[in-house]
Amino acid sequence: MPRKPPSRWQRDPEGMRQRILDAARAEFAKRGSDGARIDRIARAAKANKRMLYYHIGNKDALYLAALEGAYEHIRDAERKLNLEALAPADAITRLIEFTWDYFLENPEFMALLNNENLHRARHLKRSKKVKQMHSPFVALLADILRKGVASGAFRSNVDPVQLYITIASLSYFYLSNNATLSTIFGRDLMGEDAKAERVAHMTDLVLAALRRGSTAKLDRLVAAS
């Protein structure tokens, strides 16, 4: 009797795993870790529960894997920016623009962050990967800052972690709260002109904070924020 040919997932286990993670990321981003359902994830991935449990594990393991994958994706994209090859001010400008574009183009990532913060990082605290992903990026930012100080462009004693949190938050808060902010201030904050103005303002604000002897301009920018 001829042997039954291997199934699709047996021929391409990595492809199946990635489809499961993609489906899980979409489900968790839409419904949160509590509202997501394994059945929906399996259907979207064209898999079954057995495949899902085989490749990833239970629902908590799947959520953590999707979350880690989301962080891995943005860190990989940041590495491809080749920031170390740019002048310090240009590198910071490029990072600000990239972060803005990434959040704008990846609303699922923002939704996952919202959900995980709602749960006080309950799942992320179990991750053995996330801190390892972030350490090289923090080291890169520290090196950019050192180059800026050495060239006389930047002031000293800027914490690279605080700098990245500031860059991320300037985009994140604006985009995650655009509906309420647009209503409160009577502006279409997602219009093309408004988005361009926001990127320019963020860039001016961060560079003013980094530059040596530019406190007067920084004071004006903060007052306008």
Question: Same structural domain for residues 53 and 102?
Answer: no
More confident residue, 9 or 87: 87
Question: Same structural domain for residues 84 and 137?
Answer: yes
CB 175 within 8 A of CB 168: no
Distance CA 131, CA 139 (A): 12
Question: Same structural domain for residues 181 and 216?
Answer: yes
Distance CA 215, CA 112 (A): 36
More confident residue, 50 or 109: 109
Residue 1 domain flag:
no
Question: Same structural domain for residues 78 and 157?
Answer: yes
Average pLDDT score over the chain: 89
Query: 3-class DSSP state for residue 106?
Result: coil
Average pLDDT over residues 2-19: 64
- pLDDT of 2 reads 45
Res. 4 pLDDT band, cuts 50 70 90: very low
Give pLDDT tens digits for 83-141.
999 999 999 999 999 999 999 999 999 999 999 999 899 989 999 888 888 889 999 99
Give pLDDT tens digits for 169-205.
999 999 999 999 999 999 999 999 999 999 999 999 9
Average pLDDT over residues 57-65: 91
Res. 49 pLDDT band, cuts 50 70 90: confident
Residue 20 domain flag:
yes
Question: Same structural domain for residues 50 and 89?
Answer: no
Residue 3 domain flag:
no
Residue 164 domain flag:
yes
Res. 10 pLDDT band, cuts 50 70 90: low
Q: What percent of the chain has pLDDT over 70?
A: 89
Query: 3-class DSSP state for residue 29?
Result: helix
Question: Same structural domain for residues 183 and 89?
Answer: yes
* Displacement of CA 104 from its chain's centroid (Å): 10
Residue 4 domain flag:
no
Res. 215 pLDDT band, cuts 50 70 90: low
Residue 158 domain flag:
yes
CB 218 within 8 A of CB 208: yes
More confident residue, 195 or 4: 195
Q: What percent of the chain has pLDDT over 90?
A: 72
Residue 2 domain flag:
no
| CA dist list (Å): 167 to 51, 109, 119, 141, 157 | 40, 16, 23, 12, 17
Instruction: Tell which residue, 53, 66, 78, has the closest CA to residue 124.
Output: 66
Task: Tell me the sheet residues that pair with 154.
Answer: 211
What backbone torsions phi and psi does residue 211 show, to the nearest 5 degrees?
Answer: -70, 150
Question: Same structural domain for residues 23 and 124?
Answer: no
Res. 52 pLDDT band, cuts 50 70 90: confident
CB 137 within 8 A of CB 83: no
Alpha helix (H) residue ranges in 5-159: 8-11, 13-35, 38-44, 49-55, 59-79, 88-105, 107-118, 130-151
Question: Same structural domain for residues 131 and 186?
Answer: yes
The CATH number given to whatever domain includes residue 220 is: 1.10.357.10
The CATH number given to whatever domain includes residue 26 is: 1.10.10.60
Query: 3-class DSSP state for residue 1?
Result: coil
Q: Which domain holds residue 24?
A: 9-57
pTM beyond cutoff 0.75:
yes
Average pLDDT over residues 142-163: 96
Question: Same structural domain for residues 34 and 53?
Answer: yes
* Number of domains composing the chain: 2
